[in-house]
């Protein structure tokens, strides 16, 4: 969920001021620069290989950075110097990756970049197997206490928040162990009376459970790749 709120550049910068003091909303509003960085590295590598017609790769970029800045200049490098090194290796501008994918929360065109290597990716949303409640909980003495709530989820729309202790569903007591089964015993669209405790006060709300969609991101080779696509894939997988 944080992917819709925080771009990669902000995640990297904010790590030093807020990551290690994460709030209960962090899972919904932030991303991991490790995960997002790996994805950007994938797109960047494929683009450098495609634009340079196989003459350069992200590996070459890293070697150039090491040699130029660490070995010769005895220092690190700036964001701009990294971008310039990548664009020299590619022999082309890389504005889409740096100005859009790294700096905004816009969706990435995985199909375009994987297509350079003759690969297809399944990004079609499909209904998930589980019923969607939208609140993650942690065990506190056997009781389910909300640790985070997904934005725009059934739990969020019903007013549940982090630190709420879920007491009962439709009058039946729930525990941390029984909560998932209780949720999944409902059908999409069912309205559930949820009893919960917040700061010593017992409250009740109505949650309309739903069905969340998810994407598999399954990658498969296309049936008839062009020679250039096959060559790029072979070199990339070596």
Residue 35 domain-assigned (yes or no): yes
d(CA 60, CA 48): 10
For residue 129, what pLDDT is reported? 85
d(CA 47, CA 129): 35
Direct distance between the N- and C-terminal alpha carbons of the chain, in angstroms, rounded to an integer:
34
Residue 238 domain-assigned (yes or no): no
Residue 119 domain-assigned (yes or no): no
Cβ-contact 166, 194 below 8 angstroms: yes
Local structure of 31: helix, strand or coil: coil
pLDDT tens digits for range 40-54: 999 999 999 999 999
Residues 75 and 135 in one domain: no
| Cβ contacts of 179 within 8 Å, gap of 6 or more | 137, 144, 166
d(CA 162, CA 126): 28
Residue 235 domain-assigned (yes or no): no
Residues 70 and 42 in one domain: yes
Chosen domain end from 108, 137, 163: 108
Query: What is the pTM assigned to this prediction?
Result: 0.81
Closest alpha carbon to 179 in 164, 198, 201 = 164
Chosen domain end from 43, 76, 108: 108
Band the pLDDT of 14: cuts 50, 70, 90. confident
Any idea what the Cα angle at residue 190 is, between residues 188 and 196, rounded to 5°?
Answer: 115
Compute how many other C-beta atoms are within 10 angstroms of the C-beta atom of residue 98.
19
Domain holding 14, by residue range, is 2-108
Residue 207 domain-assigned (yes or no): yes
Cβ-contact 203, 196 below 8 angstroms: yes
Residues 132 and 100 in one domain: no
Residue 234 domain-assigned (yes or no): no
pLDDT tens digits for range 158-175: 999 999 999 999 999 999
Radius of gyration for the alpha carbons in the chain, expressed in angstroms and rounded: 23
Tell me the CATH number at 95.
1.10.390.10
Residue 114 domain-assigned (yes or no): no
pLDDT tens digits for range 29-85: 777 878 889 999 999 999 999 999 999 999 999 999 999 999 999 999 999 999 999
Residues 148 and 95 in one domain: no
Count of domains observed in the chain: 2
Tell me the CATH number at 201.
2.30.42.10
Maximum CA extent, the chain: 70
Residues 80 and 175 in one domain: no
Chosen domain end from 108, 136, 155: 108
């Amino acid at each position: 969920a944080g992917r819709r709120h925080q771009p990669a550049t902000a995640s990297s910068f904010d790590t030093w001021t807020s990551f290690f003091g994460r709030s209960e909303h962090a899972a919904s509003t932030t991303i991991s620069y490790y995960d997002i960085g790996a994805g950007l590295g994938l797109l960047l590598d494929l683009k450098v290989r495609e634009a340079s017609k196989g003459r350069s790769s992200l590996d070459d970029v890293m070697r150039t950075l090491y040699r130029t800045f660490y070995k010769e200049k005895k220092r690190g490098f700036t964001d701009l110097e990294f971008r310039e090194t990548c664009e020299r290796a590619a022999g082309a501008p890389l504005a889409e990756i740096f100005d859009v994918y790294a700096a905004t929360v816009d969706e990435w065109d995985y199909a375009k970049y994987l297509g350079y290597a003759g690969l297809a990716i399944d990004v079609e949303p499909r209904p998930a197997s589980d019923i969607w409640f939208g609140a993650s909980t942690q065990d506190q003495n056997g009781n389910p206490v909300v640790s985070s709530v997904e934005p725009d989820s059934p739990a969020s729309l019903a007013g549940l928040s982090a630190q709420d202790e879920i007491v009962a569903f439709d009058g039946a007591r729930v525990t941390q162990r029984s909560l998932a089964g209780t949720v999944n015993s409902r059908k999409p669209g069912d309205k559930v009376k949820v009893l919960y405790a917040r700061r010593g006060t017992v409250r009740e709300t109505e949650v309309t459970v739903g069905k969340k969609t998810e994407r598999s991101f399954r990658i498969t080779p296309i049936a008839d790749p062009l020679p250039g696509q096959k060559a790029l894939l072979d070199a990339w997988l070596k």
